[in-house]
């Protein structure tokens, strides 16, 4: 009722219509650092209003000039861009300037391509740069380090110190030779042994350091020459004399060409009392010579064999005594060494048993057909002394009596055989 005081029911509010509109982008206001800078009209930046440029002001006179002459560098646009980024201000840059920059870049690329494709571009060779090969090689030779490890150098003594000697070998710095490398043995007075100006030959043992100095040695050079000489003697199967200067349980020690040699007890003729041989001169031969491991092993017994081998040659007639009969032949004593008369060269006939010809203790004359001093082997032959095959089986005494005359004929056959083998080789 209208007069009653009961409250009126509230009407529902109608739903709001959704506002479909796009938000405007955030406006960024440009604030210049130069607050009081005035434009050409005398107004400050705050009151200046940007006006649309007229059609004539879009292309400036400089821009027109650049378009007419594209080879001209485009510094205008670049300078304006740099000024705008550095100062943070709006530079006077128009759309024509931007188009001008792109056009000039294209023109520059085109000119570079034309230059490379033109006939005026000629490749230059090394000779066009005035290269002097002689001067280059001379510079290399001048700066080449003198004295590589293992090289032999000659020089003169220029200084002596308590710990070594300085030698001028032609390098940037002198070579230094330590006291213990000045020679074999012990040197007590360096000044007497190496006076200034003395010409010496040395071996470089260490290449130059940061100061250009190399380490040299007279001792190392002497040892190298000693090993070379000893190797040459060993290859020739030579026999040398040494003086025993010490002993141990295994044998004797000696000195040969400045090198320390060793003679085992088993290689001594009197090995049971080898201490008594110290100080005596012995004739020895070489068993092992190894410069790398510094091994120099000698033998007195082998020296006896080597001395006998030195008196023997292929085709020589020798006489000896049978000391052993083996299934494969006879061993003949030739006065300190033994030779082998193999069963295949006893006779040219048919041999049923070795004892048909010789027995132990019999005297034998035979020809040498093989010599191997290094292995200590001598090959003997009696079949060459036969006139007819098997003659030694029926008339051994005749062959032994005429052995010298028969040997001369056989020596001619052996020599012809050797010459034929050499020609085939």
Query: Does 325 reside within a domain?
Result: yes
Asked whether residue 192 falls in the same domain as residue 90, the answer is no
Instruction: Write the DSSP assignment of 37-56 as a string of letters.
Output: -B-TTS-BTTT----PPPTT
Q: pLDDT, tens digit, for every residue of 33-73?
A: 444 444 444 444 444 344 444 444 444 454 444 444 444 44
Query: Does 10 reside within a domain?
Result: no
Q: What is the CATH number of the domain that holds 329?
A: 2.40.50.140
Asked whether residue 338 falls in the same domain as residue 386, the answer is yes
Asked whether residue 295 falls in the same domain as residue 317, the answer is no
**End position of a domain, from candidates 157, 189, 218:** 218
Q: pLDDT, tens digit, for every residue of 97-119?
A: 656 666 666 666 666 555 555 55
Provide the 10 A C-beta neighbour count for residue 313: 9
Average pLDDT, integer, range 211-218: 84
Average pLDDT, integer, range 84-101: 53
Asked whether residue 280 falls in the same domain as residue 180, the answer is no
Range of the domain at 272: 237-306
Residue 144 has pLDDT above 70, yes or no: no
Asked whether residue 249 falls in the same domain as residue 183, the answer is no
Q: In the prediction, which pLDDT does 309 show?
A: 83
Query: Does 248 reside within a domain?
Result: yes
Query: Does 186 reside within a domain?
Result: yes
For residue 337, what are the contacts with CB-CB under 8 A and spacing of at least 6?
304, 305, 308, 309, 376, 378
Report which of 300, 297, 336 is spatially closest to residue 320, judged by C-alpha positions: 336
Q: What domain count does the chain have? A: 4
Q: Poorest-confidence range of 76-80, 247-251, 284-288?
A: 76-80
Asked whether residue 327 falls in the same domain as residue 297, the answer is no
Query: Does 226 reside within a domain?
Result: no
Q: In the prediction, which pLDDT does 56 show?
A: 43
Binned at pLDDT 50, 70 and 90, residue 172 comes out as confident
Joined tokens for residue 269: 């003729």
Q: In the prediction, which pLDDT does 226 show?
A: 92
Q: Does the reported pTM lie above 0.75?
A: no
Residue 276 has pLDDT above 60, yes or no: yes
């Amino acid at each position: 009722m209208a007069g009653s005081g009961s409250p009126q029911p509230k009407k529902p509010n109608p739903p709001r219509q959704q506002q479909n509109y796009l938000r405007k982008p955030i406006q960024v206001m440009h604030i210049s650092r130069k607050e009081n800078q005035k434009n050409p009209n005398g107004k400050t930046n705050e009151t200046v209003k940007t006006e649309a440029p007229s059609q004539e002001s879009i292309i400036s006179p400089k821009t027109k000039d650049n378009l007419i002459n594209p080879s001209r560098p485009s510094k205008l646009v670049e300078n304006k861009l740099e000024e705008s980024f550095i100062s943070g201000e709006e530079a006077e840059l128009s759309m024509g300037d931007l188009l001008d920059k792109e056009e000039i870049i294209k023109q520059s690329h085109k000119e570079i391509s034309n230059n490379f494709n033109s006939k005026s571009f000629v490749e230059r060779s090394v000779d066009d740069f005035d290269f002097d090969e002689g001067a280059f090689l001379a510079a290399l030779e001048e700066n080449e380090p003198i004295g590589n490890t293992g090289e032999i150098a000659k020089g003169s003594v220029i200084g002596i110190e308590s710990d070594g000697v300085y030698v001028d070998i032609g390098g940037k710095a002198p070579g230094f030779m330590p006291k213990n490398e000045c020679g074999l043995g012990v040197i007590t007075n360096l000044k007497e042994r190496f006076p200034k100006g003395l010409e010496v030959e040395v071996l470089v043992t260490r290449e130059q350091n940061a100061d250009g100095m190399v380490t040299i040695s007279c001792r190392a050079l002497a040892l190298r020459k000693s090993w070379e000489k000893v190797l040459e003697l060993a290859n020739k199967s030579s026999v040398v004399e040494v003086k025993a200067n010490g002993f141990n349980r295994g044998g004797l020690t000696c000195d040969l060409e400045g090198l320390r040699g060793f003679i085992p007890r088993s290689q001594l003729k009197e090995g049971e009392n080898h201490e008594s041989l110290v100080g005596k001169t012995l004739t020895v031969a070489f068993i092992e010579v190894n410069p790398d491991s510094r091994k120099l092993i000698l033998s007195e017994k082998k020296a006896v064999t080597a001395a006998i081998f030195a008196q023997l040659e292929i085709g020589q007639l020798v006489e000896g005594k049978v000391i052993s009969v083996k299934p494969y032949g006879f061993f003949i004593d030739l006065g300190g060494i033994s030779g082998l008369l193999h069963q295949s060269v006893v006779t040219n006939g048919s041999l049923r048993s070795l004892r048909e010809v010789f027995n132990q203790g019999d005297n034998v004359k035979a020809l040498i057909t093989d010599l191997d001093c290094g292995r200590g082997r001598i090959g003997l032959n009696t079949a060459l002394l036969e006139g007819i095959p098997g003659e030694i089986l029926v008339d051994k005494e005749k062959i032994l009596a005429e052995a010298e005359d028969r040997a001369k004929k056989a020596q001619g056959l052996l020599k012809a055989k050797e010459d034929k083998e050499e020609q085939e080789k």
